[in-house]
Amino acid sequence: MIKNPRQIFWYLLSAMIAFTVGCAERESGQSDTLQKKYSIYTMAEDGQEFLMTADSLSGGRLEPEKSGVKVDPQRIFYELIVHKGYYYRLDAKTQEFLKIGIENKKFTTKSRLKLEGFSAIDNYNWITPDSLLIIGYDDKSAEVKYAKIHLDNMTAVQGKLPLPAPSGGFNWTSVGFSHFMNGQLLVGYTYHAAHDLLGYTTSDTMYVATLSYPALKNLKNYKDHRTTYPGGVNTRQSHFFTDENGDFYFITCPGIALGNNPAKPTAIMRIRKSDGSIDPDYFFNISASPIQNNGYGFWYLGKGKAIVRTERKALFTGMGDHYKVPHFDFYEVDLETQTTTRLNLPLDKGTARQCVIVENGIAYIAVNSDSAGNYIWIYNPENHGLKKGLQLLGQTDYILRIERLN
């Protein structure tokens, strides 16, 4: 049976961990998270997962077993959308979009919205501050589906995007980014061949479709063979952003842990605000830079600088140990000069993590280190200063997510 390629590597990893199902539900009550600034999601050495809230990441200590709330169901750290004190996720089994809060120290479903044809979210994008566009591939119909969700009343309008179906040995489509620009919707995507848990790879081509909005008619198409898998699943971590000039930057992800076409280079590419098109002269080849490896996460620091999270391929043997072996570096990249500088941080572990928050020009970076501890580090790009902030204690093995809650 064909598996969702977005989840294939997670299935391999989760075979080593017990999977817990079930979700508490309440009819009423106010979320305990509405007044806190930050959300922190951790995993303990025994596999238990906890959510905590905090007003500062700059210092102090937290012990999840004492101050956290157990996540229920567990193993959902790849799936969350965090917004205004609530957590949103798609339940693949029921095809329901859930709004979840923390009430009386319990992870509590507040409301449910049925979304036919959705088993996973490839990509989400904000239409307004309280309305959401989610996109995912439906293997039954071989179509890329979308849903425009109004979070205030949990209603949705659904449809399909006019993207060509996979063919020629490919049987899955992944949308790596969607971006509103100049009254149009830009959609970056690629195709996969996915036959079983081990037989998964990605086309050697990336595509960008320009669609009218809201009619969603296909206006033009772009394809590029230099790299593949534009963007990535942004419920897991950031892969794109818009700079101060309105130009849109995205990273491509052909590495073993996402595209599984590591012969292709990881690259940063740009769509210009001026004409809404891929800049043909801009191709920042990360793999050919001093980094010399594939990268995944991509976060904007401001003033033309960004952070890229990159793997060291010499330190792991394959997907079986990719998640648990410390082998990730963080680099500051200069988008204009296309230069790179490694941040002096301990080697990090965890394949895909929402592990960077940038606020007021300061980056908060969660690092899981077997030797140096689990800290949120504070990086100031103005003076390249690095210092330790909040420490996660107890049995913490991974800081899986940090994000702004309110």
pLDDT tens string 144-188: 999 999 999 999 999 999 999 999 999 999 999 999 999 999 999
What CA–CA distance (Å, rounded) separates 232 from 285?
A: 17
Sorted by sequence, the CB contacts under 8 Å of residue 153 that are 6+ apart come out as none
**pLDDT exceeds 70 at position 33:** no
Question: Once rounded to an integer, what is the mean pLDDT over residues 204-216?
Answer: 97
Beta strand 38-44 with 61-62 is unpaired
Q: Annotate 254-285 with DSSP letters as a single string.
A: -STTTT--TTSPPEEEEE-TTTSSB-TT--EE
Torsion sign (Cα): 244, 247, 252, 257: positive
* pLDDT exceeds cutoff 90 at 15: no
Residue 28 has pLDDT above 80, yes or no: no
Question: What is the C-alpha separation between 159 and 62, in angstroms, rounded?
Answer: 44
Q: What average pLDDT score do residues 124-129 get? A: 96
- What per-residue confidence (pLDDT) applies to 319? 87
Range of the domain at 128: 5-404
pLDDT at 11: 46
Per residue in 221-264, pLDDT (tens digit) is 999 999 999 999 999 999 999 999 999 999 999 999 999 999 99
Q: Could you tell me the CATH number of the domain that includes residue 9?
A: 2.130.10.10
- Structural domain count, the chain: 1
> Is residue 9 pLDDT above 80, yes or no?
no
Q: Report helix, strand or coil for 334.
A: strand
Q: What is the pLDDT, as a whole number, of residue 30?
A: 46
For residues 222 and 278, the answer to whether their CB atoms sit within 8 Å is yes
DSSP 8-state symbol, 230: B
Mean pLDDT in residue range 104-126: 94
State mean pLDDT over 62-89: 95
- Coil, helix or strand at residue 200: strand
- The predicted model gives 97-124 an average pLDDT of 94
Integer Cα distance of 39 and 404 in angstroms: 6
Average pLDDT score over residue span 75-94: 96
Overall average pLDDT of the 306-331 stretch: 95
> 26 near 98, Cβ under 8 Å?
no
Closest CA to 392 of 59, 82, 102: 59
The yes-or-no verdict on residue 18 having pLDDT over 90 is: no
Considering only 17-21, 145-149, 302-306, 323-327, which range has the smallest mean pLDDT? 17-21
pLDDT exceeds 90 at position 6 = no
pLDDT over 70 percentage in the chain = 91
Lateral strand order in the sheet of 123-128: 123-128, 131-138, 143-150, 155-160
Q: What is the pLDDT of residue 4?
A: 60
196 has a pLDDT exceeding 90: no
Q: How far apart are CA 250 and CA 252, in angstroms?
A: 7
pLDDT of 350-359, one tens digit each? 999 999 999 9
Tell me the average pLDDT of the chain.
Answer: 91
What is the band of 52 on the pLDDT scale with cuts at 50, 70, 90? very high
Find where tokens 């923390």 sit.
102
